[in-house]
């Protein structure tokens, strides 16, 4: 399944607990790292994968050992009500939702592999196990599925193709979701790079008190320095306002209140 749209995304990496997203996997084997969560994404084919489908209720257990996930700019007004938002420390300045305070720990995932109730789930997580791939030498993207035995099964009820090899509603919905995600991710790349270039991002280290005199230091991400934002030159500020970016800057600043929620979730977990 393909969508004719040219794209040249970067590879995904993890740095100090924060994840750098890409928006597409490579159709051919690459020496670079796989996108976060993905192990073996392959393009879906109506003939070759006619019997494949999603396992029923595979859950969100694949996020258990991740403490940050990439988010798109347009999600930030929702994300800020549930998660602290940081930016990756590299030149891309990718926005990420902070999910945990310790390495390899997602505080929003319950023991039953379900998310915290009444909590927005980032689109990067909801997209899995689907992803777009860039097809070499072609100006198009192909819908891929992560060939993970814990997610995909043969002869299941949630098939990707019908008996005639045509995409099912599940596959069509996945294609549309990935198209929307990819477009939003491209906008987010421009947003993050502009923030990094502006110089308003600063390294941040959060010191969290978890009770009994114990503290956790969480680092490896950046935040917007409010003083530097206030001193931003008028030309850049007006340009960002024209692009509609200001609400996303403020959403990041508002998200700082969610560090307290992370502390509560960690205390709840350590008291079990």
pLDDT digits (tens, 9 = 90+) for 24-48: 554 444 456 789 999 999 999 999 9
214 — pLDDT class (breaks 50, 70, 90): confident
Evaluate if residue 3 carries a pLDDT over 80: no
- Looking at beta carbons, which pairs linking 116-121 to residues 24 or more positions away fall under 8 Å? 116/265, 119/82, 120/75, 120/78, 120/79, 120/81, 120/82, 121/60
Average pLDDT over residues 92-102: 96
Helix axis angle, 234-243 to 246-254, nearest 10°? 100
Task: Please list the residues that pair with 19 across neighbouring strands.
Answer: 14
Question: What secondary structure does DSSP assign to 201-245, as a single string?
Answer: EEEEEEEEEEETTEEEEEEEEEEE-HHHHHT--HHHHHHHHHHT-
Cα–Cα distance, 176 to 239 (Å, whole number) = 31
pTM over 0.75? The answer is: yes
Measured from the Cβ of residue 270, the count of other Cβ atoms closer than 10 Å reads 12
């Amino acid at each position: 399944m393909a969508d004719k749209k040219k794209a040249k995304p970067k590879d995904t990496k993890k740095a100090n607990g924060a994840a750098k997203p890409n928006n597409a996997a490579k159709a051919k084997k690459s020496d670079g790292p796989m996108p976060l969560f993905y192990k073996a994404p392959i393009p879906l084919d109506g003939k070759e994968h006619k019997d494949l489908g999603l396992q029923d209720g595979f859950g969100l257990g694949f996020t258990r050992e991740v403490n940050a996930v990439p988010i798109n700019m347009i999600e930030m007004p929702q994300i800020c009500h549930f998660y602290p938002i940081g930016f990756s420390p590299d030149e891309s300045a990718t926005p990420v939702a902070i999910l945990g305070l310790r390495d390899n720990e997602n505080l929003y995932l319950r023991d039953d592999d379900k998310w915290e109730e009444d909590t927005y789930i980032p689109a990067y997580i909801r997209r899995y196990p689907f992803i777009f791939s860039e097809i070499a030498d072609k100006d198009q993207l192909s819908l891929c599925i992560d060939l993970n035995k814990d997610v995909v099964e043969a002869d299941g009820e949630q098939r990707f193709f019908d008996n005639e090899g045509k995409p099912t509603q599940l596959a069509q919905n996945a294609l549309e979701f990935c198209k929307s995600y990819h477009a939003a991710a491209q906008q987010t790349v421009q947003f993050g790079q502009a923030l990094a270039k502006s110089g308003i991002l600063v390294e941040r280290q959060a010191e969290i008190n978890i009770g009994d005199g114990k503290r956790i230091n969480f680092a490896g991400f950046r935040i917007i320095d409010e003083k530097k934002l206030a001193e931003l030159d008028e030309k850049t500020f007006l340009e960002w306002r024209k692009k509609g970016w200001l609400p996303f800057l403020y959403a990041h600043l508002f998200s700082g209140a969610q560090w307290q929620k992370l502390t509560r979730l960690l205390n709840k977990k350590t008291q079990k």
